[in-house]
Amino acid sequence: MSHPRDPAARSRLGWTLAALVLLWPALVMTDFRPLLLLDPRNLEPMGHFLGAFWPPASSPDFLSLLATATLETLAMATAGIALAWLLAVPMALVLTRALSIGRLAGRRSAWWAAALRGVVRGVLLVLRGVPELVWALVFVRVFGLGPAAGVLALGVTYGGMLGKVYSEILESADQRPVRALLEAGSGRLPALAYGLVPSCAQELVSYTVYRWECAIRASVVMGFVGAGGLGQLMDQSMKMLNGSEAATILATFLLLVLGADQLSARLRSALS
């Protein structure tokens, strides 16, 4: 019995070959050679490095430092996301065309409204276009070492990300409830609160919590440039070649990410 021929097989094969052809120069330019990991000259130092991770550090003094750094990382990520939310919400509200009274009436947007949206879109592009690590380096110069630079770096970068995604989520939601509210004479904020947000609250909360999880990871990375938290403690342990402390820090970091993932799942379940 002959099997029917897939009519899209040739097309998929062609696109796959094209992707490989385009990917090959990138691999060459980046000197990507994964087989070097199996070179005996590299396996031995990697083995010594990983062997130093066991047993993980568990001294009371170090665990006290670890607890302080963990709380500092959580505080940095949470405060950074709160600042990002405060920046993102008004800009997302400006960008959301569904809340335009002129659009509801079938008119073209006023020139000043289009210009305002263009300015806000440009601001969001700048905020999210510069990596949070670069912002952290700038703010460390201003505020000195410590988590304040990390909070501002996260707030600025993630404010741009949240504002863009919030506006896209609101634009893609069902527009009929907000249209009915605006036609009935409702203001933009009540229309947003009762017409748009309920239909996409789960997606908004899920993305916000996901960004909070990303902020936890980013705050660890920013610790290497002096923003405090687990990253700064990890930097000190790695410079001292203390693998047991690094193992404990990594385990704590993984528990933080797992906790953020569980929180996101619970919030999505509560809003479903």
142-186 pLDDT, tens per residue?
887 778 888 898 999 999 999 999 888 888 877 777 778 777 777
Task: Give mean pLDDT, residues 258-269.
Answer: 77
pLDDT > 70 fraction of the chain, expressed in percent and rounded: 90
The structure tokens 């342990």 sit at 237
Most confident of 23-37, 42-56, 175-189, 229-243: 229-243
Please report which confidence band the pLDDT of residue 249 belongs to, taking 50, 70 and 90 as the band edges.
confident
Q: Of residues 114 and 252, which shows the higher confidence score?
A: 252
The structure tokens 């201003």 sit at 142
- For residue 7, pLDDT over 70 is answered with no
Task: Give mean pLDDT, residues 187-196.
Answer: 77
How far apart CA 88 and CA 203 sit, in angstroms, is 15
Please report which confidence band the pLDDT of residue 85 belongs to, taking 50, 70 and 90 as the band edges.
very high
The residues spanned by each domain of the chain are 60-271
How far apart CA 69 and CA 65 sit, in angstroms, is 6
Say what the pLDDT of residue 146 is: 78
- For 60-271, give the CATH class: mainly alpha
Contact 59, 65 (CB under 8 A): no
| DSSP structure class, residue 36 | G
Residue 105, phi then psi, degrees to nearest 5:
-80, 0
Most confident of 50-64, 80-94, 247-261: 80-94
Say what the pLDDT of residue 111 is: 63
pLDDT digits (tens, 9 = 90+) for 46-67: 777 777 778 888 888 888 888 8
How far apart CA 121 and CA 117 sit, in angstroms, is 6
**If you average pLDDT over every residue of the chain, what do you get?**
80
Contact 161, 128 (CB under 8 A): yes
Q: How far is CA 173 from CA 55, 118, 144, 178, 193, in A?
A: 51, 22, 43, 10, 13
Task: Give mean pLDDT, residues 101-108.
Answer: 54
Q: Of residues 166 and 108, which shows the higher confidence score?
A: 166
- Residues whose CB is less than 8 angstroms from the CB of residue 71 and which lie 6 or more positions away in sequence, other chains included: none
Say what the pLDDT of residue 138 is: 86
Please report which confidence band the pLDDT of residue 102 belongs to, taking 50, 70 and 90 as the band edges.
low
Q: Is the pTM of this model over 0.85?
A: no
- For residue 213, pLDDT over 80 is answered with yes
Q: Of residues 104 and 115, which shows the higher confidence score?
A: 115
